[in-house]
Amino acid sequence: SASSPSTSDRQSYRGKQLHDLVYKNRAKQVEEFAYVPKVFREALVGAGWNVGRSPVHHAVTATDGTTKILLKLEDNRLVETVGIPVDDRGTPRLTACVSSQVGCPLRCSFCATGKGGFARNLKGHEIVEQVLAIEESFKHRVTNVVFMGMGEPMLNLKAVLEAHQCLNKELKIGQRMMTISTVGVPNTISKLASHKLQSTLAVSLHAPNQRLRETIVPSAKAYPLEALMDDCKNYFLETGRRVSFEYTLLAGINDEKAHAEELAALLHACGGGYHVNLIPYNPVEGSEYKRPYRKAIQAFVDALESRKITVSVRQTRGLDANAACGQLRNEFQKNPLLESSPPSEPNQLLESSTPSEPSLVPA
């Protein structure tokens, strides 16, 4: 006669069940766990476990298909995530632009997120669930993830790395299909380099010199451009992955040919060969900045390319959906510091990469 399964075998079996229910069946709450005995579901609920999914508070879709979703977190704060569909020569891609913080403390002058204030860091599972919400909205798997939503990822690096691992291992999104963006936080680029990720590091420059950058990015005063570029150079030497540089074009501020020439010289001094992603400014209500004309954008591109700098211009998506980072959240939640008592810390099933254990990952 067959012997009864050991406790560890039963735990491993249950862990695999829970893993599949969360990541394959995409169950949103423990009560939806199919094929799991009722007594076990009740035990999970009684022990304070939940799946770690937040309800959609509001969603808006632009004419080009870009969809912005506001998720209502357990403490009643709102966080944005954006789904961007692209048909790349007949191959559909779906990019999820995810947030790493509720708001942002860095307050870059052109950014709507900073105008909405800063509340807190997101937990790892609150980053992962943004991708699941996009997949659910589009009925299509996410192929690319960019950590370019609300917040500064390097100020929440532990949770960002947890989410990155989960997205890679559990949702099967390749590391090279993910990009982590930063405006620059001292002593963090070297920490990221030590993890030897195959993902892209995107550094938001927005100016070719320290003086101008300080007026656009206030935090640059504590992290001089020279030090930032040295860290980028060392990042490439340690990881073998070239850094991509984001540059938001602001009409009459940083979009002149002379700025492009200075930017090219800066990158060549850092080793050259780097890629620049130009982002024509996405208008924000109440901002003094303006979007440059196409002629100015093209002149900037030509000046870089003539100096052997590869450059792309980001296609503006979802203007009619308040797609600039932070805009939609600000409409619904001007003040992130709500008068509400924070809930007790629940256990979360989302964000695990250890499917053999029934108690997957507490938040």
Which of 360, 351, 347 lies closest to 128 in space, CA to CA?
351
Please compute, for residue 259, the number of CA atoms within 13 A of its CA located in the half-sphere on the CB side: 25
User: In Å, how far are 72, 126, 188, 309 from 287, measured between CA atoms?
Assistant: 27, 30, 30, 30
Give the 3-state secondary structure of residue 102: strand
> Quick one: three-class SS letters along 304-316?
HHCCCCEEEECCC
Assess contact for 298 and 306: CB atoms under 8 A. Answer: no
Catalytic sites, residue numbers: 80, 325
Q: Which two tokens stand for residue 20?
A: 């599949």
Question: 283: how many CB neighbours lie within 10 A of its CB?
Answer: 15
Scan for tokens 């963006």, then name that residue.
Answer: 181
Q: Strands across the sheet with 347-348, in order?
A: 49-50, 347-348, 361-362
Assess contact for 94 and 142: CB atoms under 8 A. Answer: yes
Give the 3-state secondary structure of residue 224: coil
Q: Are strands 91-98 and 101-103 parallel, antiparallel or unpaired?
A: unpaired
Q: What angle do CA 294, 248, 246 make, to 5 degrees?
A: 120
Q: Which two tokens stand for residue 245?
A: 């540089």
Rounded-to-integer distance, Cα 295 and Cα 249, Å? 12
CA torsion angle 133 332 114 78 (round to 10): -40
